[in-house]
Amino acid sequence: MGRVIFHIDVNSAFLSWEAVYRLYHLGGTLDLRTVPSAVGGDQEKRHGIILAKSNPSRKYGIRTGETVLEAKQKCPDLILVPPNYSLYDRSSKALMKILRDYTDRIELYSIDEAFLDMTGCSREPEKTAHEIRNRVREELGFTVNVGVSCNKLLAKMASDFTKPDRVHTLWPREIPDKMWPLPVGDLFYVGHASKRKLYDLGIHTIGQLAAMEPKYLRAVMKSHGILIWQYAHGLDDSPVVTEPPLQKGYGNSLTTPRDVTEPWLAKQFLLSLAETVSARLRADGAKAGVVSISIRDYNLVFTGHQMMLRTPTDLTVEIHEAACRLFDELWTGLPIRHLGIHTGAVSRDGVRQYEMFEKVDYDKQRKAEEAVDALRKRYGADSVMRACFLESRTEPGRPWIDHMGGGISREKRTVDYTRENVL
């Protein structure tokens, strides 16, 4: 029957996973999915945004990505729960375990989405999709939408139809009835900027986009216009990629607990970022040839600066040294609220081109940093840390600095439920 692709999408993933955990593991009686509720960050730590929301919260106009303060103004009785990425990771893995019962050709698109290549795996794809949906609900407690089609694009479009806990098909013959009447902004890869351009052309539905002459779209939107015209016709031959591609760059960023005005303090935050970025490089056997930093000031104005390294590296000390040099060249003196380190020109050949006047004994330093990596892996990230970070934990009035900064912040990795009011 040709190619068959499923797209699995967890309904309100973070909120659903939290609701199920509270109901089945913490003895809760209130299902967060049935009341206005949301997963949100900590406003006091300056990343207080809505990460996920329940369906009942939609009627108040609450949007993912808005601040907790804005959401509370819309719905004062909104129940807020903290993010718990450790729980999300476990829930995602439990879902993947079920999906592997049906095929080994799985592409993890995000923590709560996956594509399955079901070609040759089922004679009745829609029946199998319902079986997967029912198993997830009965065995794991949360719900998913399943989109069924002949390619990834149409399967993903199908899974976005009516929610929650539904199976939808979108075969090529169903495109005129099911997809073309939809708003053009619902089409995959049509973002806000593209939607504005299409509106200016009088295109408001996917069907109107499909009816356009491709040459006109190319004139206005270049190659992107041709791509979305193909998508409007349901054309997509991208494979289900079971192995993620190698990373082309590594980076981390953090929001500072207060506006930073002292250069030495900013550089200490950069050191914490260099620790995590370099550890990721070493873990993947990669070296970075380019280092860049980003600064967002208290006015939320973003600036960035980068440099090419003389020799690609995976050492914390060398990445931090480059970051500090870039910081001195970039910073204007305005108070800082966000810092980032990013790397590029990544190589994996394992070769280090030595120079005549090396500042660092690379082999000796790398052995030391590898030993630290091993200790942290075995005994925990806090088992070894630089002495300068201890001062931030003991000196009164000094901002607390996580010695392994960036990525998923420490308070989001798990939740102390003894401090939570589990209803």
Domain count, the chain: 3
Active site residues: 113
The more confident residue out of 400 and 32 is: 32
pTM of the model: 0.87
Lowest mean pLDDT among 147-161, 196-210, 246-260, 395-409: 395-409
170 and 21 inside one domain: yes
Q: Kindly indicate the confidence band of residue 44, based on its pLDDT and cuts at 50, 70 and 90.
A: low
157 and 183 inside one domain: no
List Cβ<8 Å contacts ≥24 apart for 395-403: 399/256, 399/257, 399/258, 399/260, 399/265, 400/257, 401/268, 401/269, 401/272, 402/254, 402/272, 403/272, 403/275
Cα–Cα dist 206/188, whole Å: 10
Domain membership of residue 419 (yes or no) is no
| The predicted structure's pLDDT at residue 43 | 59
Overall average pLDDT of the 381-400 stretch: 81
Q: Kindly indicate the confidence band of residue 394, based on its pLDDT and cuts at 50, 70 and 90.
A: low
Cα–Cα dist 179/156, whole Å: 12
Q: Kindly indicate the confidence band of residue 89, based on its pLDDT and cuts at 50, 70 and 90.
A: very high
| DSSP type of residue 122 | -
Domain membership of residue 190 (yes or no) is yes
Percent of the chain with pLDDT over 90: 82
Sheet strand arrangement including 302-313: 251-260, 336-344, 288-297, 302-313
Using DSSP bridges, classify how beta strands 288-297 and 336-344 pair: parallel, antiparallel or unpaired: antiparallel
Location of structure tokens 């800082």: 336
Q: Please identify, among 156, 174, 192, the residue that sits at the C-terminal boundary of a domain.
A: 174
Cα–Cα dist 101/81, whole Å: 33
317 and 211 inside one domain: no
The more confident residue out of 67 and 339 is: 339
166 and 191 inside one domain: no
| The predicted structure's pLDDT at residue 263 | 96
Domain membership of residue 239 (yes or no) is no
Cα–Cα dist 123/68, whole Å: 47
146 and 183 inside one domain: no
Structure tokens at 355: 């120079």
Domain membership of residue 36 (yes or no) is yes
| The predicted structure's pLDDT at residue 273 | 97
Assign residue 210 the CATH number of its domain: 1.10.150.20
Residues 6+ apart with CB under 8 A from 263: 327, 328, 331
287 and 343 inside one domain: yes
Cα–Cα dist 213/201, whole Å: 12
Cα 192-197-203 angle, rounded to 5 deg? 100
Lowest mean pLDDT among 8-12, 244-248, 282-286: 244-248
Lowest mean pLDDT among 50-59, 126-135, 165-174, 228-237: 50-59
Domain membership of residue 331 (yes or no) is yes
| The predicted structure's pLDDT at residue 347 | 94
Q: Bridge partners of 106?
A: 116
| The predicted structure's pLDDT at residue 349 | 87
168 and 58 inside one domain: yes
167 and 196 inside one domain: no
Domain membership of residue 103 (yes or no) is yes
Overall average pLDDT of the 373-378 stretch: 95
121 and 170 inside one domain: yes
C-alpha distances (whole Å) from 388 to each of 269, 284, 319, 398, 405 are 11, 27, 17, 12, 14
Q: Please identify, among 159, 174, 189, the residue that sits at the C-terminal boundary of a domain.
A: 174
Half-sphere exposure of 238 (CA within 13 A, CB side): 16
168 and 188 inside one domain: no
| The predicted structure's pLDDT at residue 413 | 79
Domain membership of residue 238 (yes or no) is no
On the question of pLDDT at 357 being above 90, the answer is: no
Residues 6+ apart with CB under 8 A from 232: 179, 180, 187, 206, 207, 209, 210
Instruction: Tell me if 295 sits within 8 A of 304, measured CB to CB.
Output: yes
318 and 201 inside one domain: no
Percent of the chain with pLDDT over 70: 97
Domain membership of residue 134 (yes or no) is yes
Sheet strand arrangement including 106-110: 106-110, 113-117, 5-10, 144-149, 167-169
pLDDT digits (tens, 9 = 90+) for 187-245: 999 999 999 999 999 999 999 999 999 999 999 999 999 999 999 999 999 999 999 88
170 and 183 inside one domain: no
Assign residue 380 the CATH number of its domain: 3.30.1490.100
On the question of pLDDT at 127 being above 70, the answer is: yes
**Enclosing H/E stretch for 28:** none
3-state secondary structure of 171: coil
Cα–Cα dist 369/371, whole Å: 5
What is the domain extent for residue 128? Answer: 1-174
On the question of pLDDT at 325 being above 80, the answer is: yes
3-state secondary structure of 66: coil
Structure tokens at 145: 């939408």
Assign residue 86 the CATH number of its domain: 3.30.70.270
- Residue 259, phi then psi, degrees to nearest 5: -60, 130
Sequence letter at residue 121? C
Structure tokens at 344: 């590029």
